[in-house]
Amino acid sequence: MSSPGRVPGDDLALVDLLDRLLDGGVVVAGDVVLSMAGVDLVYLGLRLVLAPAHKVLSRVGPELVEG
């Protein structure tokens, strides 16, 4: 079954990669010139897409608080 939002099972390193490249802890601001309005929303959106709905409902609150 193809489920476009999910990370393919045989591609788990991708999760580690996105963890590093999108999810904080990381590096130089690359967003200065094209001021990417709502970039944080993009990250949040990606996390929502990757997580199944029931997880989102139970997790999104605390994550928003922790920022």
Partner 1 sequence: MSAAEPTVVHAYGVVDAATGAEVVMPAGGLGGAEVQVVRCGVLGVLASRVSAESYGEQAWARNGQDARWIGEVARAHHDVLQQVATTVDVVPMRLPGIYADETALRHVVGSAERVLLEALAEVRGHVEWGAKVFDLGVADGGEEDEAPATGADYLRMRSQQASRRQQAVDRRSRAVLDLHERLAHAATHAVLNAPQDPALSGRREPMLLNAAYLVGRAEQETFVAAAQQLSDRVRDEGLLVELTGPWPPYNFGVRPTQERSA
- CB closer to partner 1 out of 1 and 27: 27
5 binds partner 1 (CB under 8 A): yes
**Residue 28: how many CB atoms within 10 A of its CB?**
6
Identity of residue 41? L
For the CB of residue 9, give the shortest distance to partner 1 in the complex, in Å.
6
For the CB of residue 17, give the shortest distance to partner 1 in the complex, in Å.
5
Main-chain phi, psi angles of 5, to 5 degrees: -80, -15
- The vertex-4 CA angle with 3 and 9, nearest 5°, equals 65
Name the residues that contact partner 1, by CB under 8 A.
4-7, 9, 11-34, 36, 39, 42, 45-52, 55, 59, 66
